[in-house]
Structure 1
Amino acid sequence: MSPAPLMSATPDTAAMPAVPAAASRARSPEPPLHLRLAQEVKPPEGRMPAIARPGDDRVTPLEVIVNGAKSGTWLLLERAGELYAPRDAFAEWRVTLPDGVPAINFRGEAYLPLSAVPGYRVRLDAANQAVELLFSPDAFAATRLTQPLLKRPVVSPVLPSVFFNYDLSYTTSALREAPSTQDLGLVTELGFSTGWGVLTSTAVGRNLTGDNTLGLPRTFTRLETTFTKDFPDKNHTLRLGDTTSLGGMLGRDFYFGGIQYGTNFALTPGFISQPLPIFRGLSEAPSTVELYVNDVLRQSSRVPTGPFTVGNFPLMTGGGQAQLVVRDVLGRETVTTIPFFTSARLLAAGLDEWRVEAGGVRRDLGTDSSNYDTGFVSGTWRHGYNDALTLEGRADAGTQLQTLWLGAASALPGQFLGKFGWVGSQDDRRGSGGAWLLGLERIGLRSSLQVQVKEATRDFRNLALDETVLPTRQEVAGNWTYTTDGVGTFGLGFASIDRYDFERVTTASLNHTIRIGARASLILNATRAIAGASANFVGVTLIVPMGGYRIASVNAAVREGQNDLYATVSESPANDAGFGWRLLAGQQQDRERAEAGATYLGRYGQVSGEVSAGHDQTSVRLGATGGLVFADRHLFATRRLDQSFAVAEVAGYGRVGIGLGGQVLTHTDADGIALIPRLMAYQDNSVRVDPNELPISAELDSIEQIAVPPWRSAVKVVFPVRTGQGALLRIVFDDGDVAPAGAIAKIKGDNQEFYVARRGEAFVTGLQPTNRVLLNWKNQQCEFEVRLPAATPDEIPRVGPLLCTGVAR
């Protein structure tokens, strides 16, 4: 892994003394002090011993070195054998003074005693007029190493657009002892994007061939229709229509139709909602600080003398160990090992996350277009009480059901995270009920452990539960994994579910993954039903990468007396485009089976085909996915659009490569227009033109434009190009001699200026077949005509001599 980049070190100015407006560096010095030979002086009991030459106050310029760092030349004052420095010197040296230190006034400026600084020592060098000051590292202002705050980019204007995504699948099956079947399915999404927000609607079509042998009618069902409006300056999002309510710690997510408004931290690039560890250290001299997280170098920074804090910890979750390595200019090294813990389930101290919702619970999504029943209003709130404790609450009020949820997640000793939740419900038909949850988890570098217990009373209800379904009486689940150095990773799992209307089901599982050779992996899985069921499973999988995008695997499994033994070989499209394929042969559930498939991923979508043959059935499956976009009066075919996109224009230049960063994604059409997909919302996206595919006569101010689109919206990116052709013009005056160097030529009606060089030649771009050109020299102007000869686009013609009359040298 390459070393982390150097980070900037910012002084903690809150602890610095005030800096007066007057500087103390540029006064005429007093006669220099008669300093002794270089010697180290330590003041007894915090006072500096008398310096030779007693008498009146004296001030002299000295080169000051503070704890090994050169700090420039300063005027130091000697009074009664003690050295004083101006107040602004302490600020520049980042040295803090105890409260109440008296200052003396010298020529209208405050001077403070150096001996008041903890750990003060002085070393005077008479020959070089220098003084070396040593202070305790604790006397310096703290340095904070932090990530620079990302400036929120200005969102680009939205280009109104319409987009359509489709996923089409066709399957025909020939059965040995039954009629053949044909099934055509379609999933669609229609979207409208404007400056007001994004409106999307999805639908699914089944059995569009109308094949009666499938036993299903031909249907076309609406799935979700949602209007989304983001407020990035507030990190808020508004949704109207169909959306999902997050169940929280004790609940279960459910669909509803209505309104939802709340926080959305994803609208700010780089925003981190979880608490991150802060490490503190002390450097006795200017040093380099290296931060290692779980033995991986994450950061290297330079810090001055004094205390420092490292707050730009990499985003991660779980526990581990960090090492701070402080190395000074002499190579002396101090290593401090610090355990840490962080979790994505926690909110940073003082941070709030909330959401309010109102509408009707959606039932039978996928089979019914508009089944909305229970009306409700809901509010959810999470608060980071401190970096170790996050509180959670939720209240639901329906027409017949009311619930109240309370929960907490807390960091515990030993790098554990604990969870607790309680919910009470009141239903008009079932009465009151309740549920609770306890959880414990630990995620470390080598091992992880998760245990959770949840119980509910028989009459407990929540909005996600259908009224005909009883809650689960008890759920107990746990898993543990451990990674070794030489024999792979081991895992154990346990789950027990006890329902009011079914008997308890208890299972245990074991898995082991180990590397074989340089690249292959062997995976072992075993599951055993301990109670309530008889399903047992043992499986072995060998995965062998074969180079490039090709991979092979062999699978063997036994479940309930049925055996699987088959091999697969597949290759994915290279570089996210091109052809891919897959082969399977062997035995599944004691029956022979073979499969072969191919896919092609291109600019306009993906098409696939697959043939499978088993004991009593042969099937052919065909599929196509992609999208269409109408924006800026142009229709584009593209891959499925799940992100933002841009319409780029390089006017008049077709077949020019254009894309994101250094990756060319597409080429402009004959009008110089192209669709750029896969833009990241609310972030800077570098849309670039490939300069190698532009003609030599093309002029662009920049081959890069920055686009910041809203979520799933289009923006327009224009590359201003000066049209026309370039030519080398040779200009002469009335006297027959060439125009002087430094004269300025420009095409009439164009503001672009071109300077005349030696031999009266000027390279002028943007020329049309016939042009009027103006020449300016010493407040004089003349005009002449330029006619271009026939030439290829990449050829630079030479034109002239061209006579420009009426200008005197």
Structure 2
Amino acid sequence: MTTGKPTRSHWTSLAASAIAACSLECHARPVPPDAAAPQQLTLATDVTNASPKEPGMEELYLGVTLNRVDTHKLGHFYRAHDALYTDAATLHALGLSWPGDHQAHGLVALVSLPGLEIHYDAANQRLSLTAPIELLGGPSALIGYIPPPPPRLDPAARAPGLLFNYDLYAQGGDGYRAISGWNELRLFGLGPGVWRTSSVVNATHSNIAGDDRQFIRLDTSWELDFPSSMVSVVVGDSTNGALDWTRATRFGGIRVSRDFNLQPYRVTVPLASFAGEATLPSTVDMFINGIRQSEQNVLPGRFQIDSAPVLNGAGQAQVVVTDITGQSRVVNFSLYNNPSMLQAGLSDWSFEAGKVRLDYGLKSFSYAADAMGTGTYRYGLSNFLTLEAHAEVTRDLSMGGGSFMLRMGPAGGVLSASYAMSQHAGDNGYQHGLGYEWEGVLLNVRLSTLRNDAAFADVASLAGTGLPRRVDQAFFGLNLGRGQLGTSYLRQDQAGGIRARYASLSWSQTTSRYGNFSLSFSHDLGGGTGSTAYVYWSLPLGDRRQVWSGAQHQTAGNTLTAGATQSIPGDSDGWGWRVQGAAGDQATDQAEVGQLTRFGEWRAGVQAWRGDGRSDTTAYVDVNGGVLLMLGSVFPMRRVDDSFALVTTDGIAGVPVMLENRFVGNTNDKGQLLVTELNAWQNNDVKIDPLVLPAEIEVGRVQLSVVPPTDSGVLARFPMRRTTPVMLALRAPDGQWVAPGTEARLESNGAPAVEVVVGYEGKVYLQDPPAGARLMVPLASGQCSIVLPDPLPGSGWLDLGELPCR
């Protein structure tokens, strides 16, 4: 320990001034080394409660560095016989702890702390401490993943609108014609929530059956979302919440549920976590399957890093800790993630009440006579265990049960089990299930069984939907390096002794040069449909084109198929086509062409089938799209399955618009463009390109983060206006240019004066000057002025040339 003999009176006065200037607040953690220096040093402890010094001790107030991190605190110490002393409170405030420290009384000698290295700089009155990790107190610092705040809706973007989606399909063949149409109507922005209703229309003509026409209502509902609490309320037609061992049921009534889609950036599954420690300031990098996921700076002490999971199944994590001296240590460990599990403390739930929907798709208003209620609840008891419960009740029926999902360590997969009981018409029934899942790089395993007795019933079974008595499933997948090999088994037993059992084997391989290959074989173990074998090959040709060929063997015969296709673009205008030829016992030839435009999508084709000595040729056409009524205008558009935005540029036409840096179109002659394929409750980056606009267009902003509600449209306004920029050059009365930097003043009747600065060669730039305004110019010899023309000669950018100032 380096010692010195400072002048006591000097440091006593310094301490007094420091005490007067500094706050007495106690901070328990050091400040990061790159943090800005505070305006005032903070005392490590309140001097009014300091332990009394012993006779002959020198009183010191020292700046303290702990493990090379400046604490930005003054520590109150005593020095005697080349040793430093302080009380336990000061050491705690500096971030140190040791066994039995809470029972310590009086002064503590720093040399008594095991492993503590002490360096006292008397000249600069600094104390440098280097402590082992055992002496660094305080809880582990939590760093890494922080849930982002949910996106906020802009009230100014709200606008009422009416959207009509449609899908029309017509076909005709020898002796029959048919046309069917699906449609959906949405009303949004007019009051809270969004209204929806959908229906289908069918019309058929057959030489045998005659004519038939139908109109069937499908769903009608009103939905209100609460994104801050992730709660959704649906009134009308909906489906109840379900688990792996329960069944979803359509009903009419009310549903209140947790909806994680209202905060899509929030991670609900357990995070990838690593706990470690650092003696010196360090940088911690976390890699998952070789890809860096986070980089964090940590202070000396214990820390825990949470990283958002980026994989499903098993993976390998690597943490590299590098301290400020450049020394690194590497820690490797295994991870396992299942997207169905919940973080510790997170819950998911759904509660419904209403009447079961009957004959869906066949009748418009068919509901059960008795009301029903259902509830589903899931809770993350820990990052390794998720509990689930489900209950259903209606007249003469009650059913309830529970289940769990257990992640068996970082490399053990997920085990699940369920048990349920029901009571119906006085009979008690039981259902139990067991499952296991492992998904890794080389091996995938999924095993499950769900069985019940003849007395078990649920709400769906009362509506006429048969409940399987036994369902067994098994799947094994293996990565061979040269392709993926998979085998599966399925058994399903229905009431009345009906049993189905299937086994299959498949192999697939993707190559960059020779295309994609796949082989599959399936066999009906019950002997009903026999065996099926299929061989398939495809080769991408670029520009959305590919060719393929396949051969199929089944009990009905053998078929050889070959074809080529160019797919329709997914999000931009373009054409697509498909041709297919086949030979064999069951053959289908097909030719199709289609196009995607900003008004919708259409496909038309001809299909010829032949087999069993018969043949049939069918022509068909399919058209889908949408029509939007918003801001008093009608917009033909593509079919919208989620949300959208109406971009407006205040009447400026021809403005390029981009969505997530992809060009989507130019504004029309009204300065409007409809942008579809927006994600609800997410930040959708919408931009314009101002570089193509004339110079007289003033742009208020070029980028917007658009957040639309569910199934709704919003207004994305980019403020613009046409201006009249005027450039002129001023000559003084003596014929010389007005000196640069001269501050002139533009005056107009009824408007406040505007200050302008003269540039080189007398140049003056005026933005939207009033016609006939007077420009007053101060000179060394006095003042001169010019009067702008009235009216101004033209619009847009104007260059008035040289004007004499008189």
Same fold per superposition (TM over 0.5): yes
Alignment of 1:741 with 2:738, yes or no, is no
Query: What's the CA shift for 1:771?
Result: 5.8
The equivalent of 1:36 in structure 2 is none
Counterpart amino acid of 1:426?
Answer: Q
The equivalent of 2:9 in structure 1 is none
Q: How does 1:157-176 map to 2 (within 5 A)?
A: 157=155, 158-173=158-173, 175=174
Deviations 1:534-569 (A, max 9, x none): 431111111222223222222111111511211222
Structure 1 residue corresponding to 2:422, chosen from 425, 449, 469 = 425
Q: How far apart, CA to CA, are the structure 2 residues paired with 1:787 and 1:799? A: 16
Q: How far apart, CA to CA, are the structure 2 residues paired with 1:75 and 1:15? A: 13
The equivalent of 2:617 in structure 1 is 618
Counterpart amino acid of 2:372?
Answer: F
The equivalent of 1:416 in structure 2 is 413
Counterpart amino acid of 1:241?
Answer: G
Comparing 465-474 and 119-128, the one that deviates more: 119-128
Q: How far apart, CA to CA, are the structure 1 residues paired with 2:471 and 2:131? A: 62
Query: What's the CA shift for 1:316?
Result: 3.5
Q: How does 1:252-291 map to 2 (within 5 A)?
A: 252-291=247-286
Q: How far apart, CA to CA, are the structure 2 residues paired with 1:153 and 1:746? A: 46
The equivalent of 2:683 in structure 1 is 684
The equivalent of 1:149 in structure 2 is 147
Identity in percent? 25
Q: How far apart, CA to CA, are the structure 2 residues paired with 1:556 and 1:397? A: 51
Query: What's the CA shift for 1:191?
Result: 0.7
Which structure 2 residue ranges, 5 or more long, are not aligned?
1-25, 33-37, 45-54
SS at 2:276 equivalent: strand
Deviations 1:159-197 (A, max 9, x none): 111001111122122x4xxx2x32222111111002411
Give the number of aligned pairs.
747
SS at 1:464 equivalent: helix
Query: What's the CA shift for 1:586?
Result: 3.4
Q: How far apart, CA to CA, are the structure 2 residues paired with 1:92 and 1:763? A: 62
SS at 1:669 equivalent: coil
Q: How far apart, CA to CA, are the structure 2 residues paired with 1:135 and 1:789? A: 79
The equivalent of 1:200 in structure 2 is 196
The equivalent of 2:118 in structure 1 is 122
Q: Is the 8 A contact 2:444 2:477 kept in 1?
A: yes
Comparing 190-199 and 749-758, the one that deviates more: 749-758
Q: Is the 8 A contact 1:664 1:690 kept in 2?
A: no
Q: How far apart, CA to CA, are the structure 2 residues paired with 1:74 and 1:785? A: 69
With over 3 angstroms needed to count, the CA separation of the structure-2 counterparts of 1:733 and 1:93, relative to structure 1, is farther
With over 3 angstroms needed to count, the CA separation of the structure-2 counterparts of 1:749 and 1:539, relative to structure 1, is farther
Which structure 1 residue ranges, 5 or more long, are not aligned?
1-12, 28-53, 105-110, 805-809
Superposition TM-score, scaled by structure 2 size: 0.83
Deviations 1:738-762 (A, max 9, x none): 5972345477778895632235543
The equivalent of 2:799 in structure 1 is 797
The equivalent of 1:45 in structure 2 is none
Superposition TM-score, scaled by structure 1 size: 0.83
Q: How does 1:252-401 map to 2 (within 5 A)?
A: 252-373=247-368, 374-401=370-397
Q: How does 1:459-608 map to 2 (within 5 A)?
A: 459-466=455-462, 468=464, 470-484=466-480, 486-516=481-511, 518=513, 520-531=515-526, 533-574=528-569, 576-587=571-582, 590-608=585-603
The equivalent of 2:630 in structure 1 is 631
Query: What's the CA shift for 1:246?
Result: 2.6
Comparing 145-154 and 503-512, the one that deviates more: 145-154
Q: How does 1:52-91 map to 2 (within 5 A)?
A: 56-57=57-58, 59=60, 66-68=66-68, 77=77, 79-80=79-80, 81-83=82-84
With over 3 angstroms needed to count, the CA separation of the structure-2 counterparts of 1:802 and 1:423, relative to structure 1, is farther
SS at 2:261 equivalent: helix
Deviations 1:389-439 (A, max 9, x none): 2222222221232222222222235522122222222223x7332222111
With over 3 angstroms needed to count, the CA separation of the structure-2 counterparts of 1:699 and 1:491, relative to structure 1, is same
The equivalent of 1:227 in structure 2 is 222
Query: What's the CA shift for 1:518?
Result: 3.8
Q: How far apart, CA to CA, are the structure 1 residues paired with 2:112 and 2:41? A: 20
Q: How far apart, CA to CA, are the structure 1 residues paired with 2:671 and 2:93? A: 57
Query: What's the CA shift for 1:292?
Result: 1.9
With over 3 angstroms needed to count, the CA separation of the structure-2 counterparts of 1:532 and 1:556, relative to structure 1, is closer
Comparing 683-692 and 74-83, the one that deviates more: 74-83
SS at 1:218 equivalent: strand
Query: What's the CA shift for 1:24?
Result: 4.4
Q: How far apart, CA to CA, are the structure 1 residues paired with 2:124 and 2:31? A: 31
Counterpart amino acid of 1:232?
Answer: P
Q: How far apart, CA to CA, are the structure 1 residues paired with 2:747 and 2:632? A: 35
Query: What's the CA shift for 1:357?
Result: 0.9
The equivalent of 1:757 in structure 2 is 758
The equivalent of 1:133 in structure 2 is 129
With over 3 angstroms needed to count, the CA separation of the structure-2 counterparts of 1:750 and 1:423, relative to structure 1, is farther
The equivalent of 2:49 in structure 1 is none
Query: What's the CA shift for 1:125?
Result: 7.4
Structure 2 residue corresponding to 1:439, chosen from 435, 440, 444 = 435
Q: How far apart, CA to CA, are the structure 1 residues paired with 2:675 and 2:41? A: 58
SS at 1:715 equivalent: strand
Deviations 1:220-254 (A, max 9, x none): 21111111111112211110111111332321112
Deviations 1:256-309 (A, max 9, x none): 111111211221231122222321112233333221223333223333333221
Q: How far apart, CA to CA, are the structure 2 residues paired with 1:777 and 1:224? A: 76
Q: Is the 8 A contact 1:754 1:763 kept in 2?
A: no
Query: What's the CA shift for 1:720?
Result: 2.3
With over 3 angstroms needed to count, the CA separation of the structure-2 counterparts of 1:332 and 1:497, relative to structure 1, is same
Q: How far apart, CA to CA, are the structure 1 residues paired with 2:193 and 2:377? A: 25
Query: What's the CA shift for 1:512?
Result: 1.2
Query: What's the CA shift for 1:676?
Result: 2.5
With over 3 angstroms needed to count, the CA separation of the structure-2 counterparts of 1:629 and 1:85, relative to structure 1, is farther
Q: How far apart, CA to CA, are the structure 2 residues paired with 1:646 and 1:311? A: 35
Deviations 1:774-793 (A, max 9, x none): 76989x99995444655574
Q: Larger relative CO (CA 8 A, sep 6+): 1 or 2? A: 1
With over 3 angstroms needed to count, the CA separation of the structure-2 counterparts of 1:354 and 1:730, relative to structure 1, is same
Q: How far apart, CA to CA, are the structure 2 residues paired with 1:292 and 1:492? A: 33
Counterpart amino acid of 2:323?
Answer: D
Q: How far apart, CA to CA, are the structure 2 residues paired with 1:440 and 1:200? A: 40
Deviations 1:189-210 (A, max 9, x none): 1110024110011111112x65
Q: How far apart, CA to CA, are the structure 2 residues paired with 1:322 and 1:214? A: 66
Query: What's the CA shift for 1:334?
Result: 1.7
Query: What's the CA shift for 1:763?
Result: 1.5
Q: How far apart, CA to CA, are the structure 2 residues paired with 1:722 and 1:435? A: 69
Q: How far apart, CA to CA, are the structure 2 residues paired with 1:379 and 1:241? A: 17
The equivalent of 1:3 in structure 2 is none
Counterpart amino acid of 2:617?
Answer: T
Query: What's the CA shift for 1:508?
Result: 1.0
Q: Is the 8 A contact 1:257 1:361 kept in 2?
A: yes
Q: How far apart, CA to CA, are the structure 1 residues paired with 2:748 and 2:542? A: 58
SS at 1:364 equivalent: coil
Q: How far apart, CA to CA, are the structure 2 residues paired with 1:434 and 1:147? A: 43
Structure 2 residue corresponding to 1:766, chosen from 765, 768, 776 = 768
Q: Is the 8 A contact 1:754 1:764 kept in 2?
A: no
Alignment of 1:402 with 2:398, yes or no, is yes
Q: How far apart, CA to CA, are the structure 1 residues paired with 2:114 and 2:536? A: 66
Comparing 430-439 and 78-87, the one that deviates more: 78-87
Comparing 160-169 and 757-766, the one that deviates more: 757-766
Q: Is the 8 A contact 2:184 2:196 kept in 1?
A: yes
With over 3 angstroms needed to count, the CA separation of the structure-2 counterparts of 1:682 and 1:747, relative to structure 1, is farther
